[in-house]
Structure 1
Amino acid sequence: MKPHVVMHMGTSIDARIVPHEWPGTRAFGEIYERIHRDLKGDAWIVGRVTMAEFGKGEPLPIKATEAYPRATWKAPGAEAGPYAIAIDQGAKLHLNINRANGDAIVAVLTEAAPDDHLAELRRDGISYLFAGKSELDLPLALDRLAADFGIKRLLLEGGGGINGSFLSAGLIDEISLMILPVADGTTGTPTLFDRPTGPGVGLTLQSVDQLENGILHLKYAITR
């Protein structure tokens, strides 16, 4: 059974999610992390671009000396969460670290990932699993996160693309949305959900709280 997925995000009043020169971003970051902890997830999940921000130094690729089975591999010391999950369909992440914000990293790959990349992940102590042959299968990824890593409650904190993919696949159960008192309006910047097309998804409002610094915190359940 897949984990319960709570999307936790912060936006401007016009749903932009990249805080270029937004006022009050430091205070927002502190409040965001506080709510992140309060949501009590077993793991949080982001896309490749977001996880790359945690990387250290230049890429250090290596050559594999063996062929690896396309099966979940759990790094030593990563037997228990919380986990930081990275969606990396193209096997392009080179992090040189094994933890993000103190949480053990797990890469979600397809079976097309080359052995060289798997060798690099093993060297760096990054766990990984496979979901799909060459295209990522999100429902399968969530099932394997639950079965192989014991994740029951997952916080989705990605960019508009991954959020849109979860929305289209019907994988989001709740939304925790922080709205900052900022108007952005920048053309072409990522928004809360970016996807080519799809029907709208109904929400049920659960609560609205006014936090410090004029931030609103809204909680929604997905209407099934």
Structure 2
Amino acid sequence: MPSRSRTAAGRPHVICHMVPSVDGRIVTGEWPAPGSLHSEYERTAATLDADGWIIGRISMEPYAGRAALPRGSGARIPRTDFVARTGAPSYAIAIDPSGKLRWESGSIDDDHAVTVLTERVPDRYLAFLRDRGVSYLFGGKDRIDVPAVLRKLRQRLGIRRLLLEGGGKINGSFLAAGCIDELSLLVAPVADGTLGAPALFDTAGGAPTRLQLVSAEPRRGGLLWVRYRVVRRRR
């Protein structure tokens, strides 16, 4: 077990766990990847001892489902956090600022579903989430404040270690906010080479971050599991 980097007080220790190509691309659909990729990804994730995982809306859509949203505005619902369940074995967390996911239920297998919203979502959507047993946290009025969301995940749900498994923009927003503590990369033996394809981190203006190598371990199918610790600047 590698030593842990310093984590800001009051938030979870965040590990960005991803499968990039050797050139940092992350859309795997067309890759000639080894058949062991998915199983190795899940196996390595299980060793990271996380209390939950967080991704963006588009990535969460296949898991959430396509339930119908009820008509009508309904009663006014205060913009306060709603926690439908605590003490879950794990939490599946989506960042969905506008409230577009159509959750079938409040569970994904044994994981409790949590969605992160902005205050601009309509009342009927909040009523829909409550009816489905989906917890929701507000991450800001008009845009998501990543550090504030992480503090809420720790305070409201007791999450201490969190896997970040998003797309380039979600991962990039965490990186730019200084909210990634480790990288766990299962590098696939693939050179993607697609111009403009989503990368591991996509941030406006960039967010160069110094890393320290912790370990590198070959895995089945030519995969390479590489772990880095984020080096914090001394204040």
TM over 0.5: yes
Match of 2:179 in 1: 171
| 1: CA distance, partners of 2:70 / 2:194 | 37
The count of corresponding residues between Structure 1 and Structure 2 is: 223
Structure 2 stretches lacking a partner, 5+ long: 1-9
RMSD of aligned Cα (Å) = 1.5
Alpha-carbon contact 2:20-2:200 (below 8 Å) kept: yes
Among 164, 180, 185, the alignment partner of 1:156 is 164
Q: 1:57 to 1:89 in 2, by over 3 A?
A: closer
1:6 aligns with 2:15: yes
Cα offset, 1:42, TM superposition: 0.5
1:194 aligns with 2:190: no
Cα offset, 1:102, TM superposition: 3.0
Alpha-carbon contact 1:8-1:36 (below 8 Å) kept: yes
Among 203, 206, 214, the alignment partner of 1:206 is 214
**CA offsets per residue over residues 23-75 of structure 1, 9 Å max, x none?**
23542011101111111110100001101121324543443532222122112
| 1: CA distance, partners of 2:55 / 2:66 | 20
1:111 aligns with 2:119: yes
Q: For residues 1-224 of structure 1, what are the structure 2 equivalents within 5 Å?
A: 1-24=10-33, 26-57=35-66, 59-75=68-84, 77-224=85-232
Higher mean displacement: 191-200 or 206-215: 191-200
| 2: CA distance, partners of 1:199 / 1:35 | 27
Alpha-carbon contact 2:97-2:118 (below 8 Å) kept: yes
User: 2:42 is matched by which residue type in structure 1?
Assistant: E
| 2: CA distance, partners of 1:107 / 1:37 | 22
3-state SS of 2:92 partner: strand
Structure 1 stretches lacking a partner, 5+ long: none
3-state SS of 1:68 partner: coil
3-state SS of 2:36 partner: helix
Tell me the TM-score normalized by structure 1: 0.94
Cα offset, 1:200, TM superposition: 0.9
Cα offset, 1:221, TM superposition: 0.3
| 1: CA distance, partners of 2:139 / 2:69 | 25
Cα offset, 1:114, TM superposition: 1.2
Cα offset, 1:194, TM superposition: 0.8
| 1: CA distance, partners of 2:109 / 2:193 | 30
Poorly superposed stretches of 4+, deviation over 6 Å: none
| 2: CA distance, partners of 1:165 / 1:68 | 29
